[in-house]
Amino acid sequence: MTSESRPSAGQEWNAEGYARHAGFVPELGAAVLELLAPRLGEAILDLGCGDGVLTARIREAGARVTGLEPDPDMAARARARGIRVLEQDAHDPFGSGLCDAVFSNAALHWMRDPPRVLRNIHAALKPGGRLVAEQGGFGNVAAVVTALTASLEAAGHPVPPSPWDFPTPTAQRARLEAAGFRVETIALIQRPTPLPTGLKGWLATFGAPFMPDLDTASRQSVVADTERRLAHLRDETGTWYADYVRLRFRAFAA
């Protein structure tokens, strides 16, 4: 999907629901944090910091970290951890030449216009500064989306366009280079991910953009039908897995 056709919203954030149904997202951020390797005194911006779980870990390394988060509920949670937060959309500029690094986990796939956001990140970095990020990559949650789409169609509901950008490494490398970065490493990682509150919980948090106009009963029926179609994603203990594919990269502002 092109950035022009991707819907701008449709996702409503609820910090408490996110922590319950998707708390694993920051919990699984150890590898990208390791790739960031924050150092004492560095100025680091955490783009799409959410409730600040990973931002606080960057601070523990002694970095001077600022979060950037457009959702007021999420931003308030991050501030409650003592984190400084710029409450704004990453499509708007957020500084010039001030950051040693920009970090981002599970946020870039929500951007309507990824090239514009990458240009803003480049502008925010000092020359030679690094962007270290993880986001959904090509094929991310494809089985879940395919089943959800089939359930919507079977019930005669419209299927809105996906709100997510899950690029291939080749496409994202080209965007990064066009924004002025030298890409050091970029790779897809297949990561089947256990869902702590099941497929229902995951769909309650991330499925909303696909079911904007459905009443509660219709939503419940679509979710039940999606579960039925995806029964093979549930293991022998009853744990649901989603077919996560991550795109992890480190690039330097040239």
Question: Which residues contribute to the site for ligand BEZ (CB under 6 A)?
Answer: 25, 106, 136, 140-141, 164, 206
How near is the Cβ of 138 to ligand BEZ at its closest, in Å? 12
How near is the Cβ of 41 to ligand BEZ at its closest, in Å? 30
How near is the Cβ of 210 to ligand BEZ at its closest, in Å? 11
**Judged by CB, which is closer to ligand BEZ: 25, or 186?**
25
**Judged by CB, which is closer to ligand BEZ: 67, or 136?**
136
Query: Position 194: which residue type?
Result: P
Which residues have a Cβ under 8 Å from the Cβ of 9 and sit 6 or more positions away?
A: 163, 209
How near is the Cβ of 11 to ligand BEZ at its closest, in Å? 8
**Judged by CB, which is closer to ligand BEZ: 136, or 167?**
136
Point out the residue whose Cβ comes nearest to ligand BEZ: 106
**Judged by CB, which is closer to ligand BEZ: 11, or 221?**
11
How near is the Cβ of 171 to ligand BEZ at its closest, in Å? 17
**Judged by CB, which is closer to ligand BEZ: 69, or 100?**
69
**Judged by CB, which is closer to ligand BEZ: 113, or 177?**
113
How near is the Cβ of 254 to ligand BEZ at its closest, in Å? 28
* Integer Cα distance of 222 and 214 in angstroms: 9
